Amino acid sequence: MAESARRDVAVDGHADIALSVREVVAGYTAELDILRGITVEVKKGEIVTVLGPNGAGKSTLIKTVAGLVPVRSGEIKLFGDSLVGVSAHRMVGRGLAYVPQTQNVFAKLSILENLELGAGFRHDRAGMKEDLAKMYELFPRLYERRKQAAGTLSGGERQMVAVARALMARPTMLMLDEPSAGLSPKLVGMVFSKIREVRELGVTMLIVEQNAKAALVISDRGYVLARGEDRVSDAADALLKNPEVGALYLGSKQGLL
């Protein structure tokens, strides 16, 4: 799947663009647009963070890309393949994995079963075993508890299961919706350092976060949304210092640092 996508890209000549969201208008109901012409781009191998105050449309952006919110206009492409109109359950097959913010594990199923389901559509048993070993290497805690129901885990451990489950699909692009939500500061640091390790596996990532500082520190670039539009985009370290971002995001005149 991913191979064919890359071939198309080569023809297009934009091989370095992994995900491109262009002028997208979308909303849950026909009457209300949440996204009002948003444009976001993620290059291959990048970590890009999307920031913004509550209600800016961050989660909606990610859900729209994941096929959960109908697109009214604009285009969404993953390595040159349009994702508009693709059913949510076919996204994994296209190389796009998504970790929702809440309820992102199958609570009644064991950790092992959660991970197996992540690779559900794959048929290479050997590759799956290999990936499973890789996940246990990345998250040793999960191996210890692989027979346990995921619902019995702590918040941080569930987040690991969710990320590992998404990675089991061998995605080319991984989207994380507020991976630090509800975690203690210590766990936030742990989660983001794991995310950095995941990048070493060659996965491009789009992250939506409230915790701007923690996310920007590990990101290459960032976007700041407000009212369903992209307002500012820049390199991550520049955004950290940008007073305009502070104003949009925190309502203050200072930068985030």
Partner 1 sequence: MILPQLIADGIVAGSTLALGAIGLTMTYDIMRFANFAHGEFLTFAAYFALMFVSAFGGVQTFGPLTFGWTFIVGLIIAVVLTAILALVLDWLIYRPLRRTNIVITLVIASFGAELMLRNIAVFFWGSQSRFYSTAISIHREILPGVRMSADDIFLVLLTAVLMILLQLFLTRTQLGKEMRAVSDNADLARVTGISVRRIIRWVWIIGGGLAAVSGVLVGLTVQISPENGFSLILPLFAAAIVGGIGSIYGAVAGGLIIGLVESLSVPIMGAQYKLAAAFIVMLVVLLVRPRGIFGAKS
Residue 120 engages partner 1 in binding (rule: CB under 8 A) = yes
Tokens representing 134 are: 């890789």
Task: Report which residue type is found at 222.
Answer: G
What's the rounded Cα separation, in Å, for the pair 48 and 61?
Answer: 13
How distant is the alpha carbon of residue 93 from its chain centre?
Answer: 16
Tokens representing 219 are: 């990101």
Residue 129 engages partner 1 in binding (rule: CB under 8 A) = no
Minimal distance, residue 109 CB to partner 1, in Å: 6
> What are the phi and psi torsion angles at 209 (to 5°)?
-145, 150
CA distances from 242 to 49, 223, 252 (A): 15, 12, 11
Q: Which is nearer to partner 1, 48 or 169 (CB)?
A: 169
Minimal distance, residue 91 CB to partner 1, in Å: 7
Q: Is the dihedral of CA 199, 245, 180, 29 positive or negative?
A: negative
Q: 8-47 mask for partner 1 (x: CB under 8 A)?
A: ----------------------------------------
Tokens representing 40 are: 């976001």
**Residue located via tokens 């012409």:** 37
For residue 64, give the nearest of 54, 53, 51, 74 by alpha carbon.
74
Q: 46-85 mask for partner 1 (x: CB under 8 A)?
A: --------------------x-x-----------------
Q: By CB under 8 A, what part of segment 150-179 binds partner 1? A: 165, 169
Residue 105 engages partner 1 in binding (rule: CB under 8 A) = yes
Minimal distance, residue 218 CB to partner 1, in Å: 23
Of the listed pieces 6-14, 91-99, 139-147, 181-189, which binds partner 1 according to CB under 8 A?
91-99
Given a contact cutoff of 8 angstroms between Cβ atoms, the answer to whether 64 and 72 are in contact is no
Minimal distance, residue 89 CB to partner 1, in Å: 5
Minimal distance, residue 114 CB to partner 1, in Å: 8
Residues in Cβ contact with 67 at an 8 Å cutoff, skipping those fewer than 6 apart = 83, 86, 87, 88, 90, 91
Of the listed pieces 15-23, 28-36, 78-86, 88-96, which binds partner 1 according to CB under 8 A?
88-96
Q: Which residues bind partner 1 (CB under 8 A)?
A: 66, 68, 87-93, 98, 100, 103-109, 113, 116-118, 120-121, 165, 169
